[in-house]
Amino acid sequence: MASHRGMVRVIPRTSVRFFKTLTEPYSPTISTDLYTQEKEPRFISLFQNDSRLKTITEEEAKLSPSLIALHARLNLGQDFPLATLARALTCDTKDGQHASNSSLSQVGKRLVKYHVTENMITKYPRLPIAVFSKAVNAYVGTESLSSVGRLFGIEVESKSPIDKYLSGETLETSFGKLRFDSAISKPESGVKHYGKEGITEDVAYKFAVRSIIGGVYLHKGESAAKKFIDEYILSRKVDVESMLKFEQPQRMLLRLLRRNNLPAPVSKLMAETGRHSVAPVYVVGVFSGDSLLGEGQGSSIREATMRGAVNALKAHYLYRPLNERVPSDPERKEPLYVDEGEVYF
Amino acid sequence: MPPYNGAIKAVSVARNGVGAFIRPCRKITLQYCNVGGSSQGLRDFLTQRLTKFATKYPEIEFQVALKRGHPIVRGLYSTTMASNPAILTNDSTKLADVHTNVKTVCLRNLNIDNVENKLKLMVESSGNRLYKPKQAVQSLNQSVRGIWSPFHVDKDHRFKI
Amino acid sequence: MNFRSLGLVQRGFSPVVRLQQQQIRNLVVYRSSKSKGGIRNPDDYLTSGSRKYELNEDNLKHIKGYLSSIESGKYQLPDRLLLQVITHKSFAHGKLPYNEKLSILGYSLFSMTTAKFALHIAEVSKARDVVDVVNSTGFKLLNRNSMLDVFSSLTGLAKVVFWKNPEPLNLDGASALNKTVERNTVLALIGAIISQHGTKSAEEFVINEVIQQAVKSDYFQPLESTA
């Protein structure tokens, strides 16, 4: 639409709710009896920080239809104020009038990092460290979280303040949109300028998603935050097998077996066809003692041997225990298995 | 030289509905004309049924716009559905432009019931461009049966030359 | 799975099966200085300072004594895991179980717990904007690396670590590298508590022990006067 004049906004009645204020007490799941005002007054005073920036009020936030729709889409419930959601979409800007999401996103970042880490360690206890860190990053990295934010249906505020004024929009309507100082500007068509200040759209989405998680923890408590992370982040798919990379698989397998006091690997040709043809196929099994660790096939014996060693290593590193309960699960009975780390030399 | 060198970077892929389901349709704009006869059905819908309809879908933002011409409904979708072929290829350059899919349908000369049906279609759509699937089943997961190997067939069932 | 069970070798399929014999070599262990091609005597490198790496009471008595002294032994850990906690990845080329993954797990919990803790403190002190505590001096102090140093030096955890000192002449080990190794050990201890006793217990350990030790010492003092 070229003009916004004559536009009527319809706000569904059920979406207009009355929320509590931002400083509503949350239920701490951790006991902090040691640090009361009486016992440690000076320590407590270190945690006081009153920034002069005002926070978005509930009344202002209620005026944005897209914010109300986003709130309903994420099923945040009545405990989660619209004002917090509006704050979660407000990144640090140069001329920002309202408190930004930087602190909320700090809280969210730490929560999501822990829950993904414990989940990954429970699921794949033997992953090499490099693969492990990248697998965690596949969930909590910028690309992943920005994709989550886009799936949430968060819109980016693309209009400049003057455009908004000319089209008759108020400031409140933009509370439902992601607001940030973009590092990328387009001075003319076909030219992109990457500035030093500001952030990219992906990073802004990441901050918003983290902040929403932080807000869920703040207003709805720990188990709700964990559920939110389970449903929106950990439900995504990461193919860990394709992340493994081996430069010298046979050598690595030898180290691994030697460390575990098992016989050194022996490759045995198990089947072959068309040795003198243009397309030979070999199947090689890699054995340690009597047990077949892995089997590979290839068009040369060397290739098949290498694949056999890779498959043997994959069988080891991608081991998944039957009991997949994470340590934060109160119903967990058995201790978590953490491996001893990979060998290097 | 270490036998083991790093890892290959990966990004998680969305599986909407595996954990929580987010309706892809996030915004619907209804554009009508105050004078034209082709807008009659939409005008009826706006006055009689829109409030009830919008209340049913609080996760969708409804916008009503007055503009001359035939009536139009326009849906905005936030799409990273696994069913989208662009997602299946895992091509990050393609991923970028499927996020804001727009679907536009003309509502001219439709009566109030037909308008509502068209709106339901917009609400329930994934927002993906229509395409013909090549396989009956599409999945992000590998086949559980694995790849057939001639060397691992039982002797009795083997092809005899 | 035995390869014979695949039915490829004994039955009449026509593969050429070649069984390699494993080669047997005689190894000579050199006891003197390093020599090219020789394998070092494990007794030479399985030591850290004057301590020998072994699963025995002597190596673990310090850390075990500490864990049994707090909260009436609530956080006690199995011996094998404790030895892993105090072994750094630099020790013995990673041949022995080391604490890297435990410390990654511990770090993620530690940073989450400090955030939760700070939010609670803000709640107690009735801050206008609870989340703003993240920008406070106290929160920044909680997240400084030296915070963990206080704990490791007070509990004496630093003395029992097995690691390979890259500066053999610096016997005190008072280098920056040594500090990193010590911090990793503290985090690995937290990670080990998560694995054995669950997240909630580990959070209590961080708040009631690690942070409490820092509050009791003068870690928060010098900045209190300026704050």
Per the model's pLDDT, the better-predicted residue between C133 and C26 turns out to be C133
Please tell me which residue of chain A has the smallest CA distance to B14.
Answer: A236
**pLDDT exceeds cutoff 80 at A13:** no
**pLDDT exceeds cutoff 60 at C12:** no
Residues of chain C with pLDDT > 70, as a percent, come to: 78
Q: Does C129 touch chain A (CB under 8 A)?
A: yes
CATH pick for A2-26+53-232 out of 1.10.1520.10, 2.30.42.10, 1.10.3720.10, 3.40.640.10: 1.10.1520.10
Residues of chain A with pLDDT > 90, as a percent, come to: 57
**pLDDT exceeds cutoff 50 at A26:** no
* Helical packing angle, A201-220 and A102-123, nearest 10°: 80
Residue listed under structure tokens 């340590």: A327
Which range has the top average pLDDT, A59-68, A94-103, C100-109? C100-109
Does an H or E element contain C138, and which? Answer: helix C137-142
Amino acid at B150: P
Rounded to whole angstroms, the Cα distance separating C175 from C165 reads: 10
Specify the pLDDT at position C127: 80
Rounded to whole angstroms, the Cα distance separating C60 from B135 reads: 60
Beta bridge partners of A177: A155
The DSSP string of A56-103 is: PPHHHHTT-HHHHHHHHHTT--TTS-HHHHHHHTB---TT--B--SHH
Taking the domains of chain B in order of start, what are their residue ranges?
22-82+96-129
Count CB-CB contacts under 10 A for residue C30. Answer: 13
pLDDT band with cut points at 50, 70 and 90 for residue A32:
low
Specify the pLDDT at position C172: 61
Burial of C164 (0-12, 13-18, 19+ CB in 10 A): middle
pLDDT tens for A93-151 read: 887 788 999 999 999 999 999 999 999 999 999 999 999 999 999 999 999 999 999 99
Beta bridge partners of B101: B77
**pLDDT exceeds cutoff 50 at C10:** no
Specify the pLDDT at position C219: 84
Please tell me which residue of chain C has the smallest CA distance to A103.
Answer: C134
- Dihedral angle over CA of A9, A14, A16, A21, nearest 10: -150
Largest Cα–Cα separation, chain A: 87
Strand-pair category, B61-66 with B25-32: parallel
CATH pick for C52-225 out of 3.30.1330.10, 2.40.170.20, 2.130.10.10, 1.10.1520.10: 1.10.1520.10
Taking the domains of chain C in order of start, what are their residue ranges?
52-225
Residue listed under structure tokens 């945690």: A47
Q: Does A193 touch chain C (CB under 8 A)?
A: no
Determine the CATH number of domain A246-317: 3.30.160.20
Nearest to B63 by CA among B54, A298, C116, B55: B54
* CATH class held by domain B22-82+96-129: alpha beta
Find chain A residues with C-beta within 8 A of B15's C-beta.
235-237
User: What does the pLDDT profile of chain B (161 residues) look like in tens digits?
Assistant: 444 568 999 999 988 889 999 999 999 999 999 999 999 999 999 999 999 999 999 999 999 999 999 999 999 998 654 444 444 444 444 444 444 588 899 999 999 999 999 999 999 998 887 778 888 888 888 888 887 777 777 777 766 65
Size of interface A-B (CB pairs under 8 A): 171
Rounded to whole angstroms, the Cα distance separating B42 from B73 reads: 10
pLDDT tens for A311-343 read: 999 999 999 998 889 999 888 888 888 888 877
- Dihedral angle over CA of A38, A40, A42, A44, nearest 10: -90
**pLDDT exceeds cutoff 90 at C36:** no
Task: Please answer yes or no on whether A134 and B15 come within 8 Å at the CB atom.
Answer: no
Find chain A residues with C-beta within 8 A of C150's C-beta.
none
Please tell me which residue of chain B has the smallest CA distance to A7.
Answer: B65
Rounded to whole angstroms, the Cα distance separating A228 from A216 reads: 8
Q: Do residues A324 and C91 touch, judged by C-beta distance below 8 A?
A: no
Specify the pLDDT at position A134: 95
Specify the pLDDT at position C205: 93
Residues of chain C with pLDDT > 90, as a percent, come to: 35
CA–CA distances in Å: residue A26 to residues A23, A132, A327: 9, 33, 23
Residue listed under structure tokens 């022990």: C209
Per the model's pLDDT, the better-predicted residue between A176 and C21 turns out to be A176
pLDDT band with cut points at 50, 70 and 90 for residue C129:
confident
Count CB-CB contacts under 10 A for residue A37. Answer: 13
Q: Do residues A217 and A114 touch, judged by C-beta distance below 8 A?
A: no
Q: Assign C52 to helix, strand or coil.
A: strand
Helix extents (H) in chain A: 41-45, 58-61, 65-73, 82-88, 102-123, 129-140, 142-151, 161-166, 201-220, 222-232, 249-259, 301-317
Q: Does A27 touch chain C (CB under 8 A)?
A: no
pLDDT band with cut points at 50, 70 and 90 for residue A37:
confident
Distance between alpha carbon C71 and the CA centroid of its chain, in Å?
21
For A339, residues 6+ apart whose C-beta sits below 8 A from its C-beta are: A125, A126, C101
Specify the pLDDT at position C32: 60
Task: Please answer yes or no on whether C11 and B155 come within 8 Å at the CB atom.
Answer: yes
Strand-pair category, C39-40 with A184-185: unpaired
Q: Do residues A212 and A81 touch, judged by C-beta distance below 8 A?
A: no
CA quadruple C72, C216, C103, C57: dihedral positive or negative?
A: negative
**Range A238-269 burial, b when 16+ CB lie within 10 A, else e:** bebeebbebebbbbbbbbbbebeeeeebbbbb
Q: For residue B32, what are its two tokens?
A: 């009508």
Question: Within the 153-182 window of chain C, which residues sit less than 8 Å (CB to CB) from chain A?
Answer: none
Specify the pLDDT at position B73: 95
Q: Do residues A328 and A115 touch, judged by C-beta distance below 8 A?
A: yes
Residue A138 is nearest to which of B1, B10, B29, comparing CB atoms?
A: B10
Count CB-CB contacts under 10 A for residue A224. Answer: 18
Please tell me which residue of chain B has the smallest CA distance to C6.
Answer: B152
Per the model's pLDDT, the better-predicted residue between C8 and A149 turns out to be A149
Taking the domains of chain A in order of start, what are their residue ranges?
2-26+53-232, 246-317
Does an H or E element contain A286, and which? Answer: strand A281-288
CA–CA distances in Å: residue B15 to residues A134, A207, A236, B87, B123: 20, 21, 6, 10, 19
Q: For residue B85, what are its two tokens?
A: 């072929």
B contact test, residue of C1, C9, C13, C14 with most B CBs within 10 A = C13
pLDDT band with cut points at 50, 70 and 90 for residue A16:
very low
Q: Does A268 touch chain C (CB under 8 A)?
A: yes
pLDDT tens for A187-222 read: 888 888 888 888 999 999 999 999 999 999 999 999
Task: Please answer yes or no on whether A7 and B66 come within 8 Å at the CB atom.
Answer: yes
Q: Assign A14 to helix, strand or coil.
A: helix
pLDDT tens for C143-197 read: 998 899 889 888 888 788 998 887 767 666 566 778 889 999 999 999 999 999 9
pLDDT band with cut points at 50, 70 and 90 for residue A17:
very low
Q: For residue A70, what are its two tokens?
A: 């986003």
The DSSP string of A241-267 is: GGGB--SSHHHHHHHHHHHTT-PPEEE
**pLDDT exceeds cutoff 80 at A260:** yes
Complex ipTM value? 0.87
Rounded to whole angstroms, the Cα distance separating C41 from C15 reads: 45
pLDDT tens for C195-213 read: 999 999 999 999 999 998 8
Please name the chains neighbouring C, where neighbouring means 3+ C-beta pairs under 8 angstroms: A, B
Beta bridge partners of A175: none
**pLDDT exceeds cutoff 70 at A245:** yes
Length of chain A, in residues:
345
Per the model's pLDDT, the better-predicted residue between B37 and C35 turns out to be B37
